[in-house]
Structure 1
Amino acid sequence: MEDVMYDPPAYIWAITTATTAAIPAATCVVLYSGAKRAGLGRRRAALLAGAAAVVLGGWFIATAVIAGHGWYDTRLGHGVPWLPIAVAGFFGTLLALRRIPVVARALAAPGLASRLEYPHLFRVEGVVFLILMALGHLPALFALPAGLGDIAAGIAAPLVAYRLARGTGRRAAR
């Protein structure tokens, strides 16, 4: 049996591409402003934002290559479980980068925790999962929790950011 590839409508590609780029771009802007607020100066803030763009872009490229080769399509007990390895590796890298003094200083800038919530506004992109489900190209078992979860995270982002900025939201954010 031949694999048939689904080519979604152009508006799905547009939404997905725009929001996939917007989240890391907005994160880099927030990190730049945090570095400036931390007194690192324009040049160091720009270097930090550029380094973040390289790390986030590298993650995007790596995960696209892994997905393109079908390596995320492994069954339990058959082959290397690339998805958990990729996710753990990415988060491990981010945690390790926090130990760099310039990064730690920028992340400790006043109000940065709340501003790091704003890039999550773009997670309303989860509507794409619901559209693809409605078009018959994704199962509801996946599309509903993924889509509704992303939409909820996107809608909640400014509310969480506001509460974090007021100093009342750490517990609620968790």
Structure 2
Amino acid sequence: MFTALSLLWFLVVLSVAAVAVVTALSLYAAAVAAGSGREVARRIAAGFGLVWLVWAAVTTALAATHVYRFAEDAVKPWLAAGFAVPVMILLALSRIPAVTRVLSHPAARVHLIRPHEVRIMGVVFLLALALRDLPPLFAWPAALGDIAIGWSATRLIRGVRAGGAERKTLWLNLFGMLDFVVAFAIGILAAPGRAQVLHLAPSTEQVSVLPLVLVPTAAVPVLFTLHVLSLANSRAVAPIPAVAAAARS
């Protein structure tokens, strides 16, 4: 029987997978637009996909054994580690010369933004709220923040393709990262344990167990890394018309 909980599982898995798929496709498009060739583009996209699949399997296994689960009598840093470890891995991989050349190219700007469109699926937090798995103080900011970033990313892409919107890109990245920081802060401060400051009903314990824990450990690290890479890319010179035209492909 298909229940509300089944729907939550479906939407969470769909959202997390969508982030990975759209990111892989965006990396491929960025490499092609940057002139690296389709073979290099395939290797970059496939490399990311393989690393992400391995990590997704690892984090799911850890979550299934309740490694991330908040505890009443202890301070457990593992959820933070589940976010930080993949971010460090992805940033390290971005330093591979062939990847760096793609990510620093002006034509890659639009493709570093595109995966954020998937964040409109932050509605999963509202479904969890309806199921009484999350407190409103966490669910509403997390959901509305993601939806706003997803909607803004769709609009911003048009400006980036035209060869401008540097200031708007900066603000999107800053607000996008702030959205994650706020969600993590509320999630940890309202979680059961010695570090609990916000005593909400319910607590944010469900963020540390399946299926919701896949969001901060398998989806958010990818999106956060893309924000960092997009900010780094903004140091490149403004795209000339030919580059802007290539980014449209």
Normalised by the length of structure 2, the TM-score is: 0.60
Partner of 1:3: none
Distance 2:5 2:157 in 1: 34
Asked if 2 retains the 8 angstrom alpha-carbon contact of 1:37 and 1:110, the reply is no
> Which residue in 2 is equivalent to 1:150?
146
Q: What is the percentage of aligned positions where both structures have the same residue?
A: 35
Measure how far apart 1:21 and its partner are.
1.2
**Does the aligned pair in 1 maintain the 2:29–2:111 contact within 8 Å?**
no
When the two chains are superposed, the root-mean-square deviation of aligned CA atoms in Å is 2.3
The alpha-carbon deviation at position 75 of structure 1 amounts to: 4.4
For residues 39 and 76 of structure 1, the distance between their equivalents in structure 2, rounded to whole angstroms, comes to 53
User: CA separation in 2, counterparts of 1:163 and 1:77?
Assistant: 50
SS of the residue aligned with 1:39?
Answer: coil
Which deviates further from its counterpart, 120-129 or 33-42? 33-42
Aligned residue type for 1:152: A
In structure 1, what is the Cα distance between the partners aligned to 2:40 and 2:85?
Answer: 26
Residue identity opposite 2:55 in structure 1: W
Structure 2: runs of 5+ lacking an equivalent = 175-249
Match of 2:119 in 1: 123
Give the 4+ runs in structure 1 shifted more than 4 A: none
User: In structure 2, what is the Cα distance between the partners aligned to 1:40 and 1:58?
Assistant: 26
User: C-alpha distance in 2, partners of 1:15/1:76?
Assistant: 29
Distance 1:131 1:80 in 2: 26
- Summarize the Cα distance change of 1:62–1:160 in structure 2 as closer, same or farther, 3 Å threshold: farther
Q: Secondary structure at the match of 1:111?
A: helix
Amino acid at match of 2:99: V
Residue 95 of structure 1, aligned match among 84, 91, 95: 91
Gaps of 5+ in 1: 1-6
TM-score normalised by the chain length of structure 1:
0.83
User: Mean alpha-carbon deviation: is it higher for 47-56 or for 61-70?
Assistant: 61-70
- C-alpha deviations, 1:40-64, integer Å up to 9, x for none? 2222211110001012222322221
2-side partners of 1:9 and 1:44: how far apart? 41
Aligned to 2:68: 72
- Greater RCO between the two (CA within 8 Å, min separation 6)? 2
